[in-house]
Structure 1
């Protein structure tokens, strides 16, 4: 990864966060909790993947239609997020593999 890639990545991240900050306060709070959860146990490809951008797209559509964030997601936000990443390999999977002694699968 070169310096240009890092600079471009920072520009994209700042643009992404500007979109988040344009959302209503309740959406921002839920987004930050989702982000925190995904960074902790989410998909391995989270930094390169479109999950966070798709969540912001979904939230922007909800705002445009006049819905509250919990009307979109339901009251169990964790279940919503778990459903989003159910088919993705997560950091939790890697950790589980490392403690269970499965060799050769944690780095893939």
Structure 2
């Protein structure tokens, strides 16, 4: 793969993950304006989301923007970081992901699994 092809692949991948580059730059500029501790928290969440978050560009962009909104408001109000994320930051981020993953492949497969088990167990069709 040439450098040009590789660069195109990386650009397409990033667009898939983060969506529109303009939105991504705006998000990054907002995060840069946060107080250092809030910025560090958002950057930690961002790293986690890059690995485990929704892979749909639009959902990802909205999720990142909403995280920025949340932390901007919290910083303005002086809300402590632990009050935002709670005692388990992983669970906090996983809940965010679940809220943005409704139309994604994983959510559909989870629903299919739940339906299959319910049918197999005779639930919902009058059988016991």
Q: Quick check: TM above 0.5?
A: yes
The yes-or-no answer on 1:67 pairing with 2:79 is yes
TM-score of the aligned structures, taking structure 1 as reference length:
0.67
- Matched with 2:119 is none
The alignment yields a C-alpha RMSD, in angstroms, of 2.1
Do structure 1's residue 48 and structure 2's residue 46 form an aligned pair? no
Runs of 4 or more above 6 Å deviation: none
Alignment partners' CA distance in 1, 2:52 and 2:78: 31
Matched, 1:25 2:31: no
User: Structure 1 stretches of 5 or more lacking a match?
Assistant: 1-5, 94-108
Structure 1 or 2: larger helix share? 2
Matched, 1:14 2:25: yes
Alpha-carbon distance between aligned partners in 1 of 2:83 and 2:52, rounded to the nearest angstrom = 25
- Where does the alignment leave 5 or more consecutive residues of structure 2 unmatched? 1-14, 107-128
